[in-house]
Amino acid sequence: MKSAQLKHCERQAQLVLRLDEKMAGLSDQELRNKTAEFKSRLQNGESLDQLLPEAFAVVREACWRVRAEKPYPVQVIGAGIIHGGDLAEMETGSGKTLTSTMPVYLNALEGKGVHVVTVNEYLARRDAVSMGQVFGYLGLSVGLNQAQMPPELKRQAYACDITYSTNSELGFDYLRDNMARKKEDKVMRGLHYAVIDEADSVLIDEARTPLIISGAPQDISEQCMQAHKAVLKLNSYDYSIDRESQAVRLNESGITKIEEIFRIENLYSKANSILVHRINQALRANYVLKRDKDYLIRNNEIMIIDGFTGRVLAGRQYSEGLHQAIEAKEGVEIKGESKTSATITYQNFFRLYDKLSGMSGTAKTEEKEFLDIYNMRVIPVPPNKPIVRKDLDDYVYTTESAKYQAVAAQIEKLYLKGQPVLVGTASVEHNERISELLKQRGIPHEVLNAKNHQREAEIIAKAGLPFAVTIATNMAGRGTDIRINKEAASLGGLYVIGTEHHESRRIDNQLRGRSGRQGDPGVSRFYVSFEDEIIRRFSSEKFLEAAKKFPNDTLVESSMVTRSIKSAQKKVEEQNYETRKNLIKYDDVLRKQRTQVYAIRDRILNEDNIRSMTKNVFCSTLEKILERANGQKQLKEFEEEFNVRLLKGKDELISQVAHRAWTDYQLETVSAEPYIFMIERDLYLRLLDKKWQDHIDAMSKLRKGISLRSYAQNDPLQQYVTEAYAAFEAMKQEVDIEFTRGLCNIQIG
């Protein structure tokens, strides 16, 4: 049954299509002039919704003239959904990038800037060039924002009508802007409207870890090596790994061994809290995280592999000393642990936009999360041509070895026939395992994973040709199409083989969706085994016991296995959603505080003269301190600390003392104007930034240990809220006190 929103967008699309002939009759100049006309009509009170039919029709015609492509009716429907602030779910190969040109153009007419968000810089560059031709033809400016660009070029990119960027670079620029000491150093001009390509990848998969800007690193190499060497002395019965969550903890025997190694009586005493943390991270690094699955080593550095895309997360590190624990494990240089200077979750960053929308080929399974977190509905758009791909039932094997032999045999069979094959794996390790089996059989093939991702576009461009065999991690073609020619189509199209089910159904669907674009023929089948990680981790004990009864190395036809996998995937999806929801609950506390701090910073940066704020802070701070002062000793300390004279033997109101001190300060600094105003601004910002960074670090430490409060029958989140509020109020007070103390003791030469 169609949703009301889909029906509305279908009606809109009909209005757009009726203008086809009219727009085709315009000259190039007349079509370009429509942009200025639309802007004028907006200024005269028309809304974007009123302009939509004409604006979309203009873009369709521009796409045809510039790119010889005219968006299909279903793409116009998708464009309406995106403009409405929702998520359009469109099949792989349905032309989401071309679809986005219509809502991007329409919203850019407001002149407030539109951000088009992609998952990697290759796609950002590609789309800025290809779609930028259309926008440029219509008189709009297009910018490309990339990592490592100098601030001036970033500022120019953000000043454009439309800016292409990755999600991470947008978030980092936002954080950096809110660390700037001068308003001229900022590069962004606001967060008005964002269209997110592969929205499920950006807003769901990558949203499990926050963006972090780190300060000066601290050397913890010795601590990490000690912890690493200690956990290597443990036996498998000294620690436990939870199958589902992959959390690892010491058992009683393990605790005893660690206490003996470090010659301590109680590992869990407060004095050993840092040691406990290092041991826990060493356990996770050594017994949970796997090389070439979770990370790889490149140029003697640990590089994180995105578990959903298989791509390297450039510039990202595991936090809280886990990265250093892996470095100790792998014997590479242990870099310093950095203190967090600024942080924000993707959820809270993208919720800062006035309007947010997106598109994806696979989002419906996460519909509740999109609605709850981002207030975006997921609206499926019908395909332009019916999908004729055959999604075959799983082949299930008792052992992993038998599974991979069967995969290799099937690839050989398809290769000899000439049918192109795409093999999807969950890790670099499995990628290379299949590659070895194919080498043994003499089958030429390409390997695509985090180790050679720079060749992605080149490999994918050939993956749909006859006799092509491509083995890839989940990154394969995300954001790009695998196109087949007539010969490949006559052979049955692209044959997709999944070598194991991912913990998310979306990732499975993305792999299937590499085949069968725009009505092309194609086939998909998953090969699984009882030894696959998702079955081992998430299936019931009853199922695992039943699986042992099957003969070794045999093909199993069992609906029980299929049901178990689907059940496991749903369980993991729910678990991951709860993890992300929990992350947001805690980050929402920081979000409110971050909003306050950034608002104070903006006020200070944007005012030419902050003297009125300085006076208010100065006087109110002195009054509060005097109110708390008790007895001659504290009054004496007050005089010395703040360089303020109290009139002895004479009653003087607290407010009078504060205002007299302010008058003295003004007289002392009048000769230094206007430089004193710059000093005041710089001092306050320096103190605010320093205290805010200390506060973030303290909240991170509090967050790590807060779950233990549940043992005392306390709600950890409520405890966190209470303590975070008190700490934030204390932080603001410390800033004001140190600022006032600094001004009272200022020396004018």
> What is the C-alpha separation between 48 and 69, in angstroms, rounded?
24
Nearest to 93, CA basis, from 308, 384, 457: 384
Q: Which residues pair with 356 in a beta bridge?
A: 194
Residue, of 459 and 224, whose pLDDT is higher: 224
Nearest to 79, CA basis, from 67, 64, 96, 61: 96
Q: How confident is the model at residue 587 (pLDDT cuts 50, 70, 90)?
A: confident
First to last CA, the chain: 79
pLDDT confidence of residue 746: 87
> What is the C-alpha separation between 3 and 10, in angstroms, rounded?
11
The two beta strands, 469-472 and 446-448, are parallel
Q: Which of 1-5, 33-37, 126-130, 692-696 has the lowest mean pLDDT?
A: 1-5
> What is the C-alpha separation between 520 and 493, in angstroms, rounded?
7
Residue 308 has pLDDT above 70, yes or no: no
Residue 290 has pLDDT above 80, yes or no: yes
Residue 222 has pLDDT above 60, yes or no: yes
> What is the C-alpha separation between 259 and 244, in angstroms, rounded?
28
Arithmetic mean of pLDDT, 418-439: 92
* Angle between helices 654-669 and 611-628 in degrees, nearest 10: 140
Residue 309 has pLDDT above 70, yes or no: no
Angle at the Cα of 719 from the Cα atoms of 714 and 725, rounded to 5 degrees = 165
455 C-beta neighbours (distance < 10 Å), count: 11
Residue, of 494 and 572, whose pLDDT is higher: 494
> What one-letter code names the amino acid at 336?
G
**573: Cβ–Cβ under 8 A, 6 or more apart, which residues?**
365, 366, 503, 504, 505
Q: 466-475 burial by CB neighbour count: b if 16+ within 10 A, else e?
A: bbbbbbbbbb
| Whether 368 contacts 87, CB under 8 Å | no
Arithmetic mean of pLDDT, 622-633: 88
Arithmetic mean of pLDDT, 508-513: 88
Arithmetic mean of pLDDT, 163-176: 96
Angle at the Cα of 125 from the Cα atoms of 120 and 126, rounded to 5 degrees = 100
Residue 306 has pLDDT above 80, yes or no: no
Q: Transcribe 36-93 into DSSP letters.
A: HHHHHHHHTT--HHHHHHHHHHHHHHHHHHHHS----HHHHHHHHHHHTTSEEE--TT
Residue, of 292 and 77, whose pLDDT is higher: 77
Does the CA dihedral 69-481-365-372 come out positive or negative? negative
Q: State how far Cα 450 lies from the chain centre.
A: 18
Nearest to 550, CA basis, from 403, 398, 405, 401: 398
> What is the C-alpha separation between 686 and 735, in angstroms, rounded?
9
Q: Which of 8-17, 99-108, 131-140, 335-344 has the lowest mean pLDDT?
A: 335-344
**322: Cβ–Cβ under 8 A, 6 or more apart, which residues?**
281, 284, 285
pLDDT confidence of residue 255: 93
Q: What are phi and psi of 359, to 5 degrees?
A: -150, 150
Burial class (CB in 10 A: 0-12, 13-18, 19+), 313: middle
Q: Which residues pair with 395 in a beta bridge?
A: 527
Q: Which of 151-160, 280-289, 446-455 has the lowest mean pLDDT?
A: 446-455
Cα–Cα distance list, 14 to 80, 106, 129 (Å): 11, 17, 30
| Whether 468 contacts 448, CB under 8 Å | no
pLDDT confidence of residue 749: 64
pLDDT confidence of residue 375: 94
Residue 429 has pLDDT above 90, yes or no: no
Residue, of 731 and 312, whose pLDDT is higher: 731
Arithmetic mean of pLDDT, 377-399: 91
Residue, of 342 and 566, whose pLDDT is higher: 342
pLDDT confidence of residue 572: 82
Residue 712 has pLDDT above 60, yes or no: no
pLDDT confidence of residue 494: 96
Alpha helices by DSSP H, listed for 494-649, are 505-512, 533-538, 541-547, 559-606, 611-628, 632-642
Q: What are phi and psi of 450, to 5 degrees?
A: -65, -15
Q: Three-state secondary structure along 280-330? A: HHHHHHHHCCCECCCEEEECCEEEEECCCCCCECCCCCCCCCHHHHHHHHH
Of 192-201, 455-464, 652-661, give the range with the top mean pLDDT.
192-201
Q: Which of 230-239, 578-587, 620-629 has the lowest mean pLDDT?
A: 578-587
Q: How confident is the model at residue 136 (pLDDT cuts 50, 70, 90)?
A: very high
- Helix or strand holding residue 356 (H, E): strand 355-360
Alpha helices by DSSP H, listed for 363-504, are 367-374, 400-417, 428-440, 456-462, 486-490
Nearest to 669, CA basis, from 748, 735, 556, 606: 748
Burial class (CB in 10 A: 0-12, 13-18, 19+), 119: buried
Residue 361 has pLDDT above 90, yes or no: no
Nearest to 426, CA basis, from 499, 359, 331: 499
pLDDT confidence of residue 701: 75
Q: How confident is the model at residue 230 (pLDDT cuts 50, 70, 90)?
A: very high
Cα–Cα distance list, 704 to 591, 697, 708 (Å): 18, 11, 9
> What is the C-alpha separation between 376 and 367, in angstroms, rounded?
8
Is 715 strand, coil or helix?
Answer: coil
Residue 497 has pLDDT above 60, yes or no: yes
Q: How confident is the model at residue 707 (pLDDT cuts 50, 70, 90)?
A: low
> What is the C-alpha separation between 163 and 86, in angstroms, rounded?
20
pLDDT confidence of residue 426: 83
Q: How confident is the model at residue 261 (pLDDT cuts 50, 70, 90)?
A: very high
Residue 52 has pLDDT above 70, yes or no: yes
> What is the C-alpha separation between 666 and 568, in angstroms, rounded?
69
Arithmetic mean of pLDDT, 422-432: 88
Q: Which residues pair with 422 in a beta bridge?
A: 470, 496
Q: What are phi and psi of 457, to 5 degrees?
A: -60, -40
Q: Which residues pair with 497 in a beta bridge?
A: 423, 525
Cα–Cα distance list, 347 to 208, 584, 656, 697 (Å): 9, 7, 48, 20
| Whether 304 contacts 312, CB under 8 Å | yes
Q: How confident is the model at residue 609 (pLDDT cuts 50, 70, 90)?
A: confident
| Tally of helices (H runs) and strands (E runs) in the chain | 30, 21
| pLDDT > 90 fraction of the chain, expressed in percent and rounded | 58
pLDDT confidence of residue 478: 56
Of 137-151, 201-215, 277-291, 517-531, give the range with the top mean pLDDT.
137-151
Does the CA dihedral 583-586-591-594 come out positive or negative? negative
> What is the C-alpha separation between 17 and 52, in angstroms, rounded?
12
Q: What are phi and psi of 89, to 5 degrees?
A: -90, 110
Residue, of 612 and 210, whose pLDDT is higher: 612
Arithmetic mean of pLDDT, 544-555: 74
Residue 475 has pLDDT above 60, yes or no: no
Q: What is the mean pLDDT of the chain?
A: 89
Residue 711 has pLDDT above 60, yes or no: no
- Helix or strand holding residue 380 (H, E): strand 378-380
